[in-house]
Structure formats: C-alpha cells, structure tokens
Amino acid sequence: MQQQGKKKPELQKTKLVESEDAVFDLLESLLQEVDANTVNVVETAVETLAKTDVKPQAKQEIKSETQPETKEQPKEQSEQKVELKTELKTGLEVDVKSENVKIFEQLPLDVQERLITQATEELKIKNSLPEWVGHTLPCLLIDVENFELAVPLVLLNGISEWNQETLSMPNQPDWHLGVIEYRGENVVIVDTARLIMPEKITQTVNERRTHHPSHFLRIGQNLALSCDAIKETVSLSQEEVRWRIKRTSRPWAVGTVIDRLCVLLDTDVLVQEIEVN
C-alpha cells in the first residue's frame, strides 16, 4: 500500500506532461462533476477573479457597449474597443486557466487522479473517433439475421428494396450475393451477416443467394450491404454511444448504442476489408 502511495505523484506528472493542454481543457468541464464543495470552490475562485482583476476593464467595456447606437463611434475608438475586448478575453482565459490549475492542485490526490484518468480516457475516445462522427450522429437502424445494427446515414449512398434482377457470378467469395443494376451502375451486394457474424449463419452459400435479404444499403462506389429490414432512423449524441477505443478485433464495430445495445457499424472499414480480401 505504501508503495502505491509513493507512485501516485509520478503517475500524475507523466500524464500531465503528455497532453497538458488537452487535459486541462477537459478538466475544466470535469470539475463540474466533482463534489458540490469542490464546485463551490471553483465558482468562488472564478467570481473572486472576476471581481478583482477584471472589474475596471469590464466596467469600461460595458459602458462603451451601452452607449446609444445613434451616436456613431469614431473608427479609432471602435478599433480600440476590439483590441480591448481581445486583450480582456485572452487575459481572462489565461487567468481562469491558471486559476483552474491552482484549484486542481489543491484537490485531494485521489480526486486529482480520478479527474486525470477521466480526462485521459475522454481524450483517448476523442482521438479514436472516426472523422465522420459529428456532435450528433443520425443513424439508420437495420436488421440483419435478427441482430439490430446502427449505420451512420452519412456513410450511405442509397437505401433500396432488393427486387431487381440479380446476376450471379461464378467463383466469388461466400459473401458475394450477386450483382444488380442500381441507378445506372453495377453494384455488388455483400452478405452483411456473412461478413460480420459468420458464426450465426446456418444456411449454405447457395441458399443465401437464392433466398436473399429484402433490402440493401449502398456503401462506397459499387458495393451494397444486404439487410433483412429497415427499422427506423435515430439521432445519436456522442454520449449515447460507448466507443471502442481499440478496434483490433471487429474493426467495423465502432461502438455500441447504449440504449439499444446494438453495434454502430463503420461501413468505411467494411469496404476496406472487402477491398483487402
């Protein structure tokens, strides 16, 4: 136990140095989640800071902003105001940031460690997200072999019922269900289930090609994913997904939609896998 106690400061130091700026930004938001007492300390500190350092400048700015609009301000005065604003903003940011560092250093060691762990984890998640992940993520929920999957709409080039004539081609991989003409182009339909959950498939390749799924989603240039049903669209926030940081296995599963316990599919990775194969 004593050894663990000794190691703690070293751990914090290392982590802070690795990604100091990013961690402090995240800490600022994380501080809100700490005990009510700690939050009060933060608020009091920020209030004090605002009252002491900023008050005279802030007053000046407020005064100039509240002047009647009818009176045109001279150009120089306006430029000065912009400069003043910038200086004030930058000064405030620096002061608040350094104040946060002070507050952070005053927190108990275990809270510091927890905040650093949380911040580092969030940072890892942020860095691991695919570039198509925005603040909100509209997704299409589909059904494949009784498994619900979420597919980001931003990665789709089309959704259609599969009622076109399908061309079967010889000597193709098991996941190749056939070629159809869709919007004037030849598109290969991929057996989604065969790609991502081959262990769940009991039918033979021929059976799956004959009794194929009812819909397909066009991804990439000339590929489409087969699916048994289109369910609904949902708009997800980043917090509604448990993101997979390391995607060494099942790289196409970018995360889990927590509410629905379904996989969020990265179709770009599926396309890459198909191309590699």
Residues of this chain that interact with other proteins (CB under 8 A) are: 144, 147-149, 196-197, 199-200, 242, 244-247, 249-250, 253, 256, 258-259, 261-263
| Beta-bridge partners for 182 | 185
Minimum CB distance to other proteins, residue 94 (Å): 37
Q: Could you tell me whether strands 229-237 and 136-144 are parallel, antiparallel, or unpaired per DSSP bridges?
A: antiparallel
Minimum CB distance to other proteins, residue 13 (Å): 22
Minimum CB distance to other proteins, residue 242 (Å): 5
Q: At what angle do helices 75-106 and 109-128 cross, to 10 degrees?
A: 120
Q: Which is nearer to other proteins, 177 or 265 (CB)?
A: 265
| Beta-bridge partners for 152 | 139
Q: Which is nearer to other proteins, 99 or 148 (CB)?
A: 148
Could you count the other beta carbons within 10 Å of the beta carbon of residue 50? 14
Tokens describing residue 18: 């690795």
- Counts for the chain of helices (H) and strands (E), in that order: 9, 11
Q: Which is nearer to other proteins, 24 or 147 (CB)?
A: 147
Minimum CB distance to other proteins, residue 47 (Å): 33
Q: Which is nearer to other proteins, 51 or 126 (CB)?
A: 126
Q: Which is nearer to other proteins, 65 or 239 (CB)?
A: 239
Minimum CB distance to other proteins, residue 265 (Å): 9
Minimum CB distance to other proteins, residue 26 (Å): 20
Alpha-carbon separation of residue 87 from 51, 54, 55, 186 (angstroms)? 17, 11, 14, 60
Minimum CB distance to other proteins, residue 147 (Å): 5
- 266 exposure class (CB count in 10 Å sphere: 0-12, 13-18, 19+): buried
Query: What residues have CB less than 8 Å from 157, skipping those under 6 apart?
Result: 218, 219, 220
Minimum CB distance to other proteins, residue 145 (Å): 8
Residue 213 contacts residue 162 (beta carbons within 8 Å): yes
Alpha-carbon separation of residue 62 from 10, 39, 57, 67, 76 (angstroms)? 46, 28, 9, 9, 18
Q: Which is nearer to other proteins, 11 or 94 (CB)?
A: 11
HSE-up of residue 141 (Cα within 13 Å, Cβ side):
15
Q: Which is nearer to other proteins, 179 or 262 (CB)?
A: 262
Q: Which is nearer to other proteins, 119 or 149 (CB)?
A: 149
Residue 230 contacts residue 166 (beta carbons within 8 Å): no
